[in-house]
Amino acid sequence: MKINKLIIYLSFLLPFIWACEDVIKVDLNESKAILTVDAFINQDIAKQTIRLSLTAPYFQNEVTPPVRGAIVTLTNTTQNRVYTFADKGNGNYEYISPNGSPIGSVGNEYVLFVSYNGQVYSSRCISNRTTLVDSIVYEFDERNNEPNNKTGYYAQFYGSDVKGKQDFYWIRSYKNNVYINSPFTINYASDGTRNSTPGLLGSDGLPFIPPIRSRVTDDNDPYQVGDSLRVEIWSINEETFEFLRQVESQMLNGGLFARIPENVRTNITAQSPNTQALGWFCVSEINKRGLKIKQLKEGDHLIQVTKVPNFDKVKFGTLIFPYNFIIS
């Protein structure tokens, strides 16, 4: 009798379960493609690249279309110099100094101009000072090889904020000359912390705190013997600091308590008031340091230091005394 009742219940429920399998197709209105400008450049003598692309439909699982045929110039208004970026045909616009000179120096003002499809876009920026990558230290850590917990070499860098005023930095790390582009490694700082409140806890002149120092390693893909590691500290302004913070927030926005997605800010302005643009422009002074990962015994740490006067008096050295160091 109980079996017969169970069969009756299942016969009643199954049609409703099957009905829940209907696929709902959502048709979204296609928006107009918008120019996107990726113009983070620096005052190093290396090749400078500006990337132009167009936005794509939300569900289009493809690389955004590159922009070809634009005219891109950078004007250093302080030195009254104009730099033309060459169209490489793939969305990249490049400038290589013909005489090995940088595009300017700290305190110079720059204006970016982009002319594309009958529209002119512009942005303005003043370059700020940066600080030194004093040293890089790494250790071998044997882990259980679960996601974000891999066995390998874990590195961190040491450095201190320049004292005297509030400074903002973007710390970028490269593995085998490839930028570590992960939402979990977006690394920015205000003075020695990640908080932009002026004078927070005496942060002016403070050594960078551990969460900043250790973000040069991707926990899901740590370094291995023979890998190269390079750390760069880019100077930025407060607006760029807030831009990076918003980008990080949107990329990590998920889960049960996710916020409603929002448009990321931009400092690219179109000459026509009815035309939109996306992206960001910033000119930075940079300081960088790199090394190659060497094999270590368990428990050893390797530190590579900058050859600076009175190095033994640099205060960050007091922060790392527990380690058994091999000096490179």
pLDDT the model gives residue 20:
52
- Residues 89-113: pLDDT tens digits? 999 999 999 998 999 999 999 999 9
DSSP codes of every residue in 280-317: EEEEE-EEEEEEE-----TTEEEEEE---TTGGG-GGG
| pLDDT at residue 303, as a whole number | 63
Identify the structural domains of the chain with CATH numbers, from first to last: 35-127 (2.60.40), 135-250+290-327 (no CATH)
Whether the CB-CB separation of 230 and 177 falls below 8 Å is answered with yes
Q: What is the pLDDT of residue 257?
A: 66
- Judge whether residue 29 has pLDDT over 90: no
Instruction: Give the mean pLDDT of the chain.
Output: 83
Residue 255 has pLDDT above 90, yes or no: no
DSSP assignment of 112-148 equals: EEEEETTEEEEEEEE--------EEEEEEE----BTT
**Token reading at 9:** 């219940």
Which pLDDT belongs to residue 211? 92
Q: What global pTM score does this model have? A: 0.82
Cβ neighbours of 294 (radius 10 Å):
13
Residue 41 pLDDT more than 70? yes
Query: Within 13 Å, how many C-alpha atoms sit on residue 161's CB side?
Result: 26
Least trusted range by pLDDT, from 129-138, 163-172, 300-309: 300-309
The mean per-residue pLDDT over the stretch 34-51 comes to 95
Q: 301 or 275, which is more confident? A: 275
pLDDT at 27 over 90: no
Q: List CB contacts of 204: < 8 A, sequence separation 6 or more.
A: 161, 163, 164, 165, 166, 191
pLDDT higher than 70, residue 299: no
Q: What is the DSSP letter of 69?
A: S
pLDDT of residue 21: 54
**pLDDT given for residue 58 in this prediction:** 67
pLDDT in tens, 145-198: 777 778 899 999 999 999 999 999 999 999 999 999 888 899 999 999 988 665
**What pLDDT, in 10s, does the model give residues 190-232?**
999 988 665 555 678 889 999 999 999 998 999 999 999 999 9
Residue 302 has pLDDT above 80, yes or no: no
pLDDT-derived band at 312, boundaries 50, 70, 90: very low
pLDDT score of 26 = 60
Closest CA to 288 of 141, 177, 192, 165: 177
